[in-house]
Structure 1
Amino acid sequence: MEAYLYLVLFWAVFYFLHTFLAKLEFKTWLREKMGNAYRYFRLIYSIFSTIFFFFIILYGTSLQKRFVLAMTDLTTYLGYMLAAFGTIILVKLFKHFSLSTFSGMKPHDDLEDVHVFVRKGLHQYIRHPLYAGLILIFMGFFLFEPVLASLVHLVCLIIYLPFGIYFEEKKLIKIFGETYIQYKKEVPAIFPIKLRSK
């Protein structure tokens, strides 16, 4: 079981860094230290987090397979279906954002960006479609291969989400103020309660 504790620890470090490095206070401090080189921070972070993410997934697949559900045609089918829906959500999400800017491939100072409040597409139904897509992908991954490692991946994500959403929205309120506060009142975080007209 020690190997699974390491898996949990890796996810804890990953999610902590994801939240801490996105804080406006940290970014402001880092820009003062890095100067013009801060334009490459987003790219460096994206590369690091991508490598770390795949390291965690590969580490999970290297562990002895302990099945927690029976593998059936139904679980495999549901796994594919949920993962596909999650992927579609992520693809649709980036129709309203620049992937090159988001990933840092286009170096820029994100603290000087003119922030545009997006409330179209999936954002008119849920505030965090990225997280919704990831939940579906991780659930699909678990159903496709219902082993303990897959379950740990999913549970760690679900445990992190309330914290991730809290700190992300704290930052968004600083950026957008009352507009985002009102948006929070009108639109659910991850699961759409009812469909809204455009």
Structure 2
Amino acid sequence: MTAIKVCLLWLVWCAVHSLLITVRAQQWIAEKGGMWQGFYRLGYVCFATVSLLLLFGCTASLPQHRIPLPPWGTGVQVVLLVYAGMLFISGAKAYDLQTFLGLRQWYDARAGRTGQPPSFLKTGVLQHVRHPWYSGAMALLWGVPGLTDLGLLIRVILTGYVLIGTFLEERKLHLKHGAAYQAYCKEVPMLIPWRIFQKK
């Protein structure tokens, strides 16, 4: 498999992954109801994980040329990895992981219960940044050592994918929570928690 084909596969993966979380796709699943709605999120997470691992495997099998970094590059990568780790951990504390993984929806569907819609959270790290995991994902992409020519292209593709995913998520949250979310957006940055450095 050539580098061009792998990049195309990454683009297809990003497109399919983004389409599956659009408002229209989720509305269609909600209309189906029952086990469709119960399995949707869990199936989505499983598909994303397995397909992502396969793509990483294909990418790693191709010959690549290492891109040398300047002396300060390693320090920047360490800072990005620490930042990503902090956001992933703090985000895991703020979110309901069972709902995020789709387990709660699956349990509710099997038990014949109607699941409660996700609540609007503003606790923990969400007081400082609206999308900690998206922010952490971008930091992780550029903080991982071993930058190569093919790896650079894929990091650019995935950065674009994360940004698109962020705006799709923003659209859904605006539709769900209306004025309350608009007010939250005025108080809390989307991806970079720069306001924590402001003097109170």
Q: Quick check: TM above 0.5?
A: yes
Q: Which amino acid aligns with 1:10?
A: L
List per-residue Cα deviations over 1:45-73 (Å, max 9, x = no partner). Answer: 1111001111222222112121222487x
2:72 is the alignment partner of 1:69: no
Q: Is the 8 Å Cα contact of residues 82 and 136 (structure 1) preserved in structure 2?
A: yes
Give ranges in structure 2 of 5+ residues lacking alignment. none
Amino acid of the structure 2 residue aligned with 1:170: R
Match of 2:92 among 91, 94, 110: 94
Bigger shift: residues 174-183 or 113-122: 113-122
Q: Which amino acid aligns with 2:189?
A: P
Q: Which residue of 2 aligns with 1:114?
A: 117
Aligned to 2:20: 21
Shift of 1:169: 0.9
**Contact between 1:41 and 1:104, CA under 8 Å: does it hold in 2?**
yes
Question: What letter is aligned with 1:23?
Answer: T
Which residue identity is paired with 1:22?
I
Q: CA deviation at 1:21?
A: 1.3
Q: For residue 195 of structure 2, give the secondary structure of its aligned residue in structure 1.
A: coil
Letter in 1 for 2:99: T
Q: Does the 8 A contact of 2:41 with 2:101 survive in 1?
A: yes
CA distance in 1, matches of 2:37, 2:49: 19
Distance in structure 2 (CA, Å) of the matches to 1:28 and 1:70: 46
Q: Which residue of 2 aligns with 1:152?
A: 153
Secondary structure, in 3 states, of the residue corresponding to 1:184?
helix
**Cα 1:7/1:186, change in 2 over 3 Å:** farther
Give the direction of change, closer, same or farther, for the CA distance of 1:31–1:186 in structure 2 (3 Å limit). Answer: closer
CA RMSD of aligned residues (A): 2.7
| Residue identity (%) | 26
Q: Which residue of 1 aligns with 2:81?
A: 83
Shift of 1:44: 1.1
Task: Give 5+ residue unaligned stretches, structure 1.
Answer: none
Contact 1:19 1:168 in 2 (8 A): no
Shift of 1:19: 2.2
More divergent stretch after superposition (111-120 vs 46-55): 111-120
- The CA deviation at 1:167 is 1.6
TM-score by length of 2: 0.82
In structure 1, what is the Cα distance between the partners aligned to 2:57 and 2:31?
36
CA 81–66 in structure 1, closer or farther in 2 if over 3 Å, else same = same
SS in structure 2 opposite 1:89? helix
CA distance in 1, matches of 2:21, 2:129: 21
Going from structure 1 to structure 2, the CA distance change for 1:9 and 1:113 (only over 3 Å counts) comes to farther
Aligned residues: 193
Name 2:170's counterpart in structure 1.
169
For 1:10, the equivalent position in structure 2 comes to 9
Counterpart of 2:187?
Answer: 186
The alpha-carbon deviation at position 112 of structure 1 amounts to: 4.5
Q: State the Cα deviation string for residues 88-120 of structure 1 (Å, max 9, x = none).
A: 3112101122222211233146x9423321112
